[in-house]
Amino acid sequence: MATKLQQVPLVSANGSTQPPLPGGWALAIVNAIFTFAPGLAKDYDVSLSRSTKGRTKQGEPLTENTYEAIEKILVSIARDLFPCVFRVSPSAEKYVKEYLNLWTGAAAFGPSWTKAIGFAPAPTSVIARALVRDLVLRLCYLESCERRLRQETFSKWELSLLNHHSLLHVYRDLIAKQTRTRRRTLLMLAYKMRINEKSLRRFKTGKAAPTMFQLSHLKPLDENLRLIAGLGFIGQLLKKVSLLDRSLQEEILRVAATFLPGHRWSLESYIGEIFGLNKNGNPYGKTCDFEAYFAHCDNILLHPGASAALPKLPTALWRCHLYALTFACKLDLAHAYFQFSEDDNDQNLEQFLLQAETESTGCPYHWMEKLRHQSTVLPFVEGTAPVGS
């Protein structure tokens, strides 16, 4: 008999249902990719029954086999999107799976931990924003590593895309430049993109988002499609999980603008140290460049170059996300989300994290110590009497 995998339901502040963890969130990512780039769907089979999709939507248990099938598709897609990373790193598949596995535990135990120290945990909807932020950092990290392994950099045009305040402004700017510099009317541009003028105007008003094919006609001919395709996918995912909020979009663009060039540059001069046993069984340690370090054991999970990018991230919340990502501290971060976040924003959480950094003269991980000082009982104990708030 197949084992069942319990899911953690997520509901937005506006009451709309979000994909639960773990199966529903994995499926939401797959669906966002297929909606954005339907050509990919031809290479993968997501033949889930209507009853399975219904259970996923309601957050009911899934069979282990069903979840593993969805997870397998995610790994395959990541292998296609980041071929050099998967070719070089022996643990790239593990890295993709880790995203959902760690957050599943964080979402399940975070409320219990928060309740155990005397606080009323926020709704599980707050974790949806955490999932998006973590996914964005993972994609930025993988893209930076992929570019380094290909010996490619980010162009000025690519980085200029990240200076906008929202994805809507990105699309508007791309359309304006196409009509201005190439002297095309909206009708001519729409014809080239195989849509009508009305659909093109919907991109400019934020009522619709372009597909990868359509974005390819909005970028300059000699520019790379990878970064703009990544932004298009994020837009589709935010829409599917009811988080199409402009403030969150601005966060994502700002973080990508600081992380990508800085991290990519740090990999050029990266020096790592790997350890092992020689033929005689004696331990050894030696320094190496990024590629050798990345190819050794599970070093993809250690996020080479992350320490250089961490202090440059624009907010305390994102710095804590990168720290938690690097050291797999998802449960601590989930605890903080459940204790301080609200249905529609993370302002209280940001204030708490920033205060922790300020008190420690900028230490990006002091928030964990400050958080733990408030706990005088063991976590995970249901029914423990509150100890004060």
Say if residue 29 is in the same domain as residue 134: yes
- Per residue of the chain (389 residues), what is the pLDDT tens digit? 467 888 888 877 777 778 898 888 998 998 898 888 887 777 776 666 777 777 777 778 888 888 888 888 899 999 999 999 999 999 999 999 999 989 998 998 889 888 888 888 998 889 999 999 999 999 999 999 999 999 999 999 999 999 999 999 999 998 888 887 666 788 888 888 888 888 888 888 877 788 888 888 889 888 999 999 999 999 999 988 888 888 999 999 999 999 999 999 999 999 999 987 777 878 888 999 999 999 999 999 999 999 999 999 999 999 999 999 999 899 999 999 999 999 889 999 999 999 999 998 878 788 888 887 765 444 444 444 333 33
pLDDT at 255: 97
**Joined tokens for residue 186:** 């909206």
Q: What is the pLDDT of residue 231?
A: 94
The reported pLDDT for the residue numbered 374 is 61
Claim to verify: residue 213 and residue 173 sit in the same structural domain: yes
Q: Which two tokens stand for residue 344?
A: 């529609």
Q: Is residue 76 part of a domain?
A: yes
Query: 209 and 173: one domain?
Result: yes
- To the question of pTM greater than 0.75 for the whole model, the response is yes
Q: Is residue 129 part of a domain?
A: yes
Which residue has tokens 């009708």? 187
Tell me, what amino acid is at 63?
Answer: T
Using only C-alpha atoms, the chain has a radius of gyration, in whole angstroms, of: 22
| Final residue of a structural domain among 176, 201, 223 | 223
Nearest C-alpha neighbor of 360 from the set 328, 333, 320: 320
Question: What is the tally of structural domains in the chain?
Answer: 2
DSSP 236-248: HHHHHTT---HHH
Residues 6+ apart with CB under 8 A from 72: none
Q: Is 139 part of a structural domain of the chain?
A: yes
Look at residue 182 in the predicted model and tell me its pLDDT.
65
Closest CA to 274 of 291, 305, 296, 302: 296
Q: Note whether 146 and 204 are same-domain residues.
A: no
Does 167 share its domain with 129?
no
User: What phi, psi does 250 have (nearest 5°)?
Assistant: -65, -40
Structure-block tokens of residue 44: 């993968």
Q: Are residues 146 and 189 in the same domain?
A: no
pLDDT of residue 46: 61
Query: Does residue 254 sit within a domain?
Result: no
What's the CA gap between 210 and 232, in Å, rounded? 7
CA distance readout (Å), 169 to 60, 235, 250, 256: 38, 12, 10, 16
Domain annotation covers residue 78: yes
9 with 145, same domain?
A: yes
Confirm if 142 and 259 have CB atoms less than 8 A apart: no
Nearest to 12 by CA among 165, 120, 132, 139: 132
Residue 385 neighbours by CB distance under 10 Å: 8
Output b/e per residue, 277-313; b: 16+ Cβ within 10 A: eeeeeeeeeeebebbebbbbeebbbbbbbbeebbebb
8 A C-beta contact, residue 155 and residue 223: yes
84 and 144 both lie in a single domain:
yes
- Asked if 83 and 167 sit in the same domain, the reply is no
pLDDT at 377: 44
In a domain, 374, yes or no: no
Say if residue 38 is in the same domain as residue 168: no
pLDDT for residue 95: 96
Question: What is the per-residue pLDDT for 143?
Answer: 98
∠ CA(332), CA(336), CA(337), 5° rounding?
115
What's the chain's length in residues? 389
Q: Are residues 80 and 140 in the same domain?
A: yes
- Note whether residue 36 is domain-resident: yes
Please give the pLDDT value at position 386. Answer: 37
CB neighbour list of residue 348: distance below 8 Å, 6 or more residues apart: 340, 341, 342
Q: Which residue range(s) make up the domain with 198?
A: 156-223
Query: What is the number of other CB atoms lying within 10 angstroms of the CB of residue 252?
Result: 25
Query: 169 in a domain, yes or no?
Result: yes
Those residues whose C-beta lies under 8 Å from the C-beta of residue 290, and which sit 6 or more positions away, are 148, 267, 268, 270, 272, 304, 305
Tell me: do 20 and 131 sit in the same domain.
yes
Residue 387: name the closest of 122, 123, 115 by CA: 115
